[in-house]
Structure formats: structure tokens, C-alpha cells
Amino acid sequence: MAKIIGGLTTSHIPAVGNAMAEGLEQDPYWKRFFEGYEPVKQWLDEVKPDLAIVVYNDHGLNFFLNQVPTFALGCADNYQNDDEGWGIPASADVPGDAQFSWHLAESLIRQEFDMTTCQEMKVDHGFMVPMNLFWRHHESWPLKAIPLAVNTVQHPLTSAARCFKLGKALRKAVDSYPDDLKVVVIGTGGLSHQLQGERAGIIDVEFDLQCIDKIINEPEWMTGLSNDYIMEKAGTEGIEVIMWMIMRGALSDKVDVLHKHYHAPISNTGAGVLLLTDAQ
Amino acid sequence: MVWTRHDYDEIPGTYVFDGKRANSGYALNKMAFSFNSEENRKAFAADMDGYCRRYGLSDEQREAVLAGDFLKLLHLGGNVYYLAKIAVFHGLNVQDAGAAFQGITTAEFKQKLLDQSAGFETQLKREGGYWHG
């Protein structure tokens, strides 16, 4: 049986991709941020998951604004990174698992989450930065991955409440797969940041830490937040935190916190890392 | 015919990218999307005005692209992730653009980010359980 062995979260800031490409991990600006990933990398190398479901938003690589699915699931055996227009070197292709993807799609759609299924899907920094943060020290990707793209770019967007429910449905979908697979779910994006307008440059440490605490201990609190409220507190791009709720929904009601890290600012953003498991 | 109003329209200095903006900015954002290809970037760099015209930008949008006026482009329906692909041609990254939106220098913008984050490690200690390495 497939099993979710843990939930991770991370920001997916493009500047982090540049910093990794340029080997700036020991640079004073970056050091504390990157060190916050080391315990998670160690845990991953110990438990050796077979597959990661990476929840992220596409920022204009695979999906243009002509067609914007609210939830899209990669259903391919291979995913390519590509040029996003600003010169981050493309990462190696990431292997997928089409059979597992189609099982997830069937189960999720039966559970009334009408996923868009994608047999070709380019994955942008939203997906690649987390993959690199957790696994770039391996010569080749040590696991497969499935991209789950959530529209957080072109409103109307889905909600924290809906993402939490999708996570619960995703848990059922994984649990009902007959193959023995160890799966991690990664919620990416956030935390507070606003890139646009005269209000660009918002970081709200207090709100970020409140979100981290509530996501761990009282995710129902997050489901009561409107997108308007989140954008007012955390900025228009801070809305990405709703994707962490898919990870949280996929875990049990009570969780153990194996790692919790926060750093700000990284580029324009408050950056959080979590490693959670079902409570033992 | 009217565009539906939203509570988020009241957030100051903020241009939530919704249907109204997606509609008015479509050609502009489509052009920016084309810059994912290096060949297109070269074509744009060689003739910016002509490239904008081929994508059917409004005169106002085209002039703002050429001038690198990113606040104006937000007003005209540009999505910030797509504007980032245009900003490259003006030698700007998202932090430079963030500064430009407010008419401050990038150094001032970065300082603002540091100021808002100041003392975060103390807050982490108060919350408890954070990794402090």
C-alpha cells in the first residue's frame, strides 16, 4: 500500500534557485536560510521516500493565461524544467509515475475534485526550487515526483478551506493505491510577500509565525480565512500559503513537528520550512 | 456592463490580478510569455516597438514597455510574474521593480524588507520550537 510518510513545506523563491546555481549557500545573506534545510535533507536521506507530490503554482512557464486550471495534476513519466525568460539554468528532467498519477486523478475526481490532467507539463521554479532545496546534493534525483499545480496567479482563486479538503482527498487517494510507495507531500510558496504595486515589499513576521503555528496545531483556523484577508496581511503573493494547506490536509489531525524553520527576508519574502508527520 | 467590485479593490497600492486586469492586459502578458524563448527575446531586443505592435499592445502599453514604466504596466493589466520577464530587458529584477513601483531606490526597498523582519529571531524564540542554527 502507498503511504504518506511526511509533509514538507518550503518557499519557492526564484532568487533561491539563482543562489543554488551560483553556489552561494555559505554567503552571509544565505547561510542561515540554507542551513534551515539540512535537518530535513538528513531525514529524507534516512527515510528515502519513493515519490514526492509537489504542490506549487506555475508562474508562466507551462500555463499561459489563456487556460488556467484551478487544480492540475501531472500524469506523465517525465517532467521538464525550461527557460522562464530570466536565465536560471534548467534543472535535469524529473521522473514521474504516470500510473500512480492516473490513480490519483481517478480517486480525486471521484471525490469531487475535478482535476485537470496533464500528460505534458513543464515545471517551473515553483516546482524545481523545492526539488533542488531538498535533493540537489544527489547526483541524480533519488525519487520520482508528481506536480500538482494550483492557480494562485489569476483570480478568482481557490481557498485555504478548499485546499485543506483537497489534501484530505489526496490522502485517501494515496492510501488506496496498491503499490508499496513511500510518499511525501510538499506544500510550496509563501510566506508573506507582495511583489506588485506601491505596497510591494510586505513582510509580516507575526502573521507568518501565526500561520505556521495554526497550520501545525489548528488548521481549521486557516480554513476560516478569506483570500482577501490573507492578501491584506501577507500580500498578494503571500496567498500562496493556501498551498501549504493541501500538505496539511494530507496528514492526520494531530501531527508531530520534526523540524520548523523561518528566515526573513529572503529576496522579498518571509521563508518557512516545516517537516511534519502523522502523530505517532 | 460592469466589472464586479471586490473587497480586495480597497487594499491600497495593490492590483489584484483578476478578470478585469487579465482581460485588459491579455496582449501585454502574452507578449511577455513569448520571452520564455531566447529567439523571441532576441527579436524583441532587436526591434521592441515592432514586436509590441505585432502582439497588438495598446499605444499606452507599448509606450510603457519601451519606457520601462512598470507601475503604469500594472495599471494597464500587466501581471507581475509576466512583467518580470519584461523587466529583464531593462536590467531589473523583482526587487528593482518593487522599488520602482514606489519611486524609491533598490537599496531603500531592501532596507524596508530588513526593517520589517528586524528582530524575527527573538520572535522565534518566544514562539518556541524553531530551529535556530
CATH architecture of B13-105: Orthogonal Bundle (1.10)
CATH number, domain of A247, equals 3.40.830.10
A261 is catalytic: no
pLDDT at A88 over 80: no
Q: Annotate B5-55 with DSSP letters as a single string.
A: P-GGGGSTT-----HHHHHHTHHHHHHHHHTTSHHHHHHHHH-HHHHHHHT
* CA pair distance A222, B30, nearest whole angstrom: 34
Mean of the per-residue pLDDT values of chain B: 96
Which of the four pLDDT bands, split at 50, 70 and 90, describes residue A85? Answer: very high
The phi and psi torsions of A256 (rounded to 5 degrees) equal -95, 140
Compute the distance between CA of residue A105 and CA of residue A99 in angstroms, rounded to an integer.
10
Q: For residue A199, which residues of chain B lie inside 8 Å, CB to CB?
A: 11-14
Across A222-248, average pLDDT: 98
Cβ–Cβ of B117/A264 closer than 8 Å? yes
Indicate the number of domains in chain A: 1
CA of B81: which chain A residue's CA is closest?
A59
CB proximity list for A219: less than 8 A, separation 6 or greater:
A164, A245, A248, A249
pLDDT for A43 beyond 90: yes
What pLDDT was estimated at residue B132? 76
In the sheet that A71-74 helps form, which strands lie side by side, from edge to edge? A116-118, A71-74, A144-150, A51-56, A182-188, A3-10, A269-278, A255-266
Whether A276 contacts A256, CB under 8 Å = yes
Query: CA nearest B20 in A: which residue?
Result: A155
| pLDDT beyond 80 at A222 | yes
A265 prior amide bond cis, ω within 30: yes
Cell 553556489 locates to: A23
Residues whose CB falls within 8 Å of the CB of residue A169, separated by 6 or more in sequence, listed in order: A107, A108, A111, A112, A113, A249
Nearest residue of A to residue B117, measured between CA atoms:
A264
Interchain contact A45–B (C-beta under 8 A): no
- Nearest CA distance, A99 vs chain B (angstrom): 31
Q: For residue A125, indicate whether it is catalytic.
A: yes
Omega of the bond leading into A156 within 30 degrees of 0 (cis): yes
pLDDT of residue A86: 80
pLDDT of residue B133: 58
Q: What is the dihedral of CA A58, A76, A21, A43, to 10 degrees?
A: 100
What are the tens digits of pLDDT across the range A197-212? 999 999 999 999 999 9
**Catalytic residue from among A12, A103, A193, A261:** A193
Select the residue of B29, B101, B133 nearest A198 (Cβ to Cβ).
B101
Chain A interface mutation, best of B31, B69, B88, B131, highest count of A Cβ atoms under 10 Å: B131
Cβ atoms of residues A255 and A219 within 8 Å:
no
Non-local CB neighbours of A264 within 8 Å, separated by 6+ positions? A203, A205, A208, A270, A271, B113, B116, B117, B120
pLDDT of residue A87 exceeding 80: no
The answer to whether A113 and A167 are in contact (CB under 8 A) is: no
Chain A segment 206-225 residues within 8 A of B by beta carbon are 206, 209, 213
**Residue carrying the nine cell digits 500500500:** A1
Per-residue pLDDT tens over the stretch A154-199:
999 999 999 999 999 999 999 999 999 999 999 999 999 999 999 9
pLDDT confidence of residue A89: 77
| Among A125, A137, A261, A263, the one annotated catalytic | A125
Amino acid at A235: G
The C-alpha cell 519611486 sits at B103
pLDDT-based confidence at residue B116 (cuts at 50, 70, 90): very high
Give dist(CA A118, CA A156) in Å, integer. 21
- In this prediction, residue B69 carries a pLDDT of 97
Which one-letter amino acid corresponds to residue B41?
R
Which tens digits make up the pLDDT trace of A104-139? 999 999 999 999 999 999 999 999 999 999 999 999
Whole-angstrom Cα distance, residue A169 to residue A163?
Answer: 10
Tell if the CB–CB gap between A195 and B16 is shorter than 8 Å. Answer: no
ipTM value, please give it.
0.96
Question: Domain coordinates of chain B in residue numbers?
Answer: 13-105
DSSP symbol at A242? G
The beta-strand segments (E) located in chain A are: 3-10, 51-56, 71-74, 78-79, 94-95, 116-118, 144-150, 182-188, 255-266, 269-278
For the residues A236-246, what does the mean pLDDT come to? 98
Q: Is A1 on the interface with B (CB under 8 A)?
A: no
Q: Do B16 and A155 touch (CB under 8 A)?
A: yes
Q: Do A201 and B8 touch (CB under 8 A)?
A: no
Instruction: Give the single-character DSSP code of A201.
Output: -
- Residue in B16, B112, B133 nearest the CB of A236: B16
- Nearest residue on chain A to B14, alpha-carbon basis: A197
Residue A28 touches partner B, C-beta closer than 8 Å: no
pLDDT in tens, B46-93: 999 999 999 999 999 999 999 999 999 999 999 999 999 999 999 999
* A153 touches B: beta carbon within 8 Å: yes
Q: With CA atoms as reference, report the closest residue to A38 among A49, A27, A50, A46.
A: A46
Residues of B in contact with A259 (CB under 8 A): 131
Burial class (CB in 10 A: 0-12, 13-18, 19+), B39: exposed
Say whether B36 and A198 touch across the interface (CB within 8 A).
no
Question: CB A82 to CB B36 under 8 A?
Answer: yes
Would you call B14 and A204 a contact, using CB atoms and an 8 Å cutoff?
A: no
